[in-house]
Amino acid sequence: GAVVSQHPSRVICKSGTSVKIECRSLDFQATTMFWYRQFPKKSLMLMATSNEGSKATYEQGVEKDKFLINHASLTLSTLTVTSAHPEDSSFYICSARVPGSPNEQFFGPGTRLTVL
């Protein structure tokens, strides 16, 4: 099946710094990728939909200026958490849509962000 990777798998940063998370589709082209956030013992919450070559669509309550999403190629989407604060500490997961596949979306392994 299709493989989605994320990098880094784990990152610790100081408050006020920016962190970039990469999401790659390794063996297929993904015109649409999704970014989710998951707090401890909670379910996945959709943050934004990323379409290659266009601006991302953010869910209500997600600050687009804080969570910058770039989908410049068919195999790479990036999420940059700007001026990170401890409350941004979370598990960030991306997924890629494979049109026509019975498996709606393929998920990356996730990135654990800890902001000190």
Per DSSP, what are the bridge partners of residue 12? Answer: 114
Rounded to a whole number of angstroms, the minimum distance from the CB of residue 80 to another protein is: 20
For 99, the token pair is: 């049109």
Rounded to a whole number of angstroms, the minimum distance from the CB of residue 67 to another protein is: 15
Q: Which residues bind another protein (CB under 8 A)?
A: 4, 6, 32, 34, 36, 43-46, 49, 91, 93, 95, 97, 99-100, 102-110, 112
65/104 with CB nearer another protein: 104
Rounded to a whole number of angstroms, the minimum distance from the CB of residue 36 to another protein is: 8
17/91 with CB nearer another protein: 91
